[in-house]
Amino acid sequence: MVLTSCEKDQVGTAHQTLIGKWEWTRSIGGLAGQILTPANTGVNRSMEISRNKIKYFANDTLVSESGYELKMMYSNMVEREEKVLMLVLKNGYVNQRVKVSKDRLLLIEECYDCYEIEYVKK
């Protein structure tokens, strides 16, 4: 895949913003359109993102980790023919579209009836 200068800048900026600790606030989706939160699941989820690895925690216990890449890719779930920022996990889990700002992160799983997962920066 060849990235344009603008795409490289977008990936680089997003990557710098992603690095750090993130606390899960909610997940929305699934077949029933569920809204899952720490309050209604009893689980406090978080993740820690470094330059090349993501660690996932549940109630402060490490549950998994994976290498990852950020890429500009075409989405299967977006009707327009434009590339979007995608989180590609090396463990084979479904790709996730990334929407990130200084202190909020939204990961949108690339499959039907999957989840939008929201985090805030710690």
pLDDT for 2 beyond 70? no
Give burial (CB, 10 Å; 0-12/13-18/19+) of 48.
middle
Residue 62: Cβ within 10 Å count = 10
pLDDT digits (tens, 9 = 90+) for 102-122: 899 999 999 888 999 999 999
Chain segment 28-71, per-residue pLDDT in tens: 999 899 999 999 999 999 999 999 999 999 999 999 999 999 99
Residue 1: pLDDT band (50, 70, 90) is very low
Q: Which residues, in sequence order, are bridge partners of residue 118?
A: 26, 106
8 Å CB contact between 36 and 27:
yes
Give me the DSSP letters along 21-32: EEEEEEEEETTT
Q: What pTM value is reported for the model?
A: 0.86
User: Which CATH code is given to the segment(s) 5-121?
Assistant: 2.40.128
Task: Name the residue ranges covered by the structural domains of the chain.
Answer: 5-121
Q: Give yes or no for residue 21 having a pLDDT over 60.
A: yes
Is residue 72 pLDDT above 50, yes or no?
A: yes
